[in-house]
Structure 1
Amino acid sequence: MIDQVWQISGDMAEDTVIHLDETVSFLADREGIEPPVISAFEQEGSPLWRVDLFFAEKPDSGFLERIVKALALENWPHDAGYIEKRDWVAESQRQQPPIRAGRFFVHGAHDADKIPGGTDPIQIDAGQAFGTGRHETTWACLTVLDALSETLRPDCILDLGTGSGLLAIAAHRLWPKAHILASDIDATSIDVACENFILNRAKTRLSRERSGSIDAIVADGLEDTIFGQEGPFDLIVANILAGPLIKLSGDIERHLRTGGTLILSGLMTFQTDDVLDAYKKTSLQPVDRLVKGEWLALTLQKPAK
Structure 2
Amino acid sequence: MLTPGTGPEWRARCRRAEELGYDLILVADHLGMPAPFPSLVAAAAATTRPRLGTFVLNTGFWNPALLAREVATTAALTDGRLELGLGTGYVRAEHERAGIPFLPPGERVGHLARTVEELAGTLKGEEGGPRTPLLIGGNGERVLRLAARHADVTAFSGGRFTGEGVTVLTAEELAGRVESYRGFEREAGRTTPAELNLLVQRVIVTEDRPAAAAEFLPLAPYLDEELILDLPILLIGTVPEIADRVKALRERFGFSYLTVLDRAMEAFGPVIARLRGSAPS
TM-score range (shorter-chain normalised) is: 0.3 to 0.5
Determine which structure has the larger helix proportion and give its number.
2
